[in-house]
Amino acid sequence: MKMLSMIVAFVFLFVLSAEALPSEKGQKQNPPLSKEEVQKLRDIAVIISGEIARRNIKSVAVLDLKDIKGNPSKRGKTVSAEFRKQIEAVGKTRFAVVNSGGGAVVTGMFLPFKGGDKWRLDIKVLSPDNRLIMSYSGFFRKTKGVKK
């Protein structure tokens, strides 16, 4: 009986460790954003912050981008964090970026395509009463360098 419980415990631990492997593998497939991707997010931040400033909104909350099922993903959180940094830098003299509340909420969806070389970004800026202030949608493809 003791031997059986040890075998069950061993199998249980093996299964748990096997489930942890894909997430570690997924982290390796989730590289930091490239300079090109950061520049694209900066360009989007300029457009959105211009509209926020034009409407005299004094504070904005930037939420994590969700996947198609409405759940946050690691890559979506990475893109959200960079977008937050960019919108904070662009709008620093016109509005404040806050953690929650605010005169507007920036939310949206980040969808990477298989292979990771193309993704879709949908961003919405909503008023506190959930009215759409503006939205932005775009597809992005990583450009491949020329091999010499």
The larger pLDDT score, comparing residue 118 to residue 28, is at 118
Q: How confident is the model at residue 2 (pLDDT cuts 50, 70, 90)?
A: low
| Extents of the domains making up the chain | 34-141
- Closest of 135, 107, 128 to residue 58, by C-alpha: 128
Closest among 137, 133, 106, 130 to 51, alpha carbons compared: 133
Note the pLDDT tens digit of each residue in 64-109: 999 888 998 888 888 899 999 999 998 888 999 998 888 999 999 9
**Residue 76: its pLDDT value, please?**
84
Which amino acid type is present at position 69?
A: K
8-63: pLDDT as tens digits: 444 444 433 333 333 334 444 566 888 888 898 999 999 999 999 999 999 999 99
The listed CATH number (3.30.2300, 2.30.30, 2.70.98, 2.40.50) that belongs to domain 34-141: 3.30.2300
pLDDT at 26: 43
How many whole angstroms separate alpha carbon 64 and alpha carbon 81? 8
pLDDT exceeds cutoff 80 at 129? yes
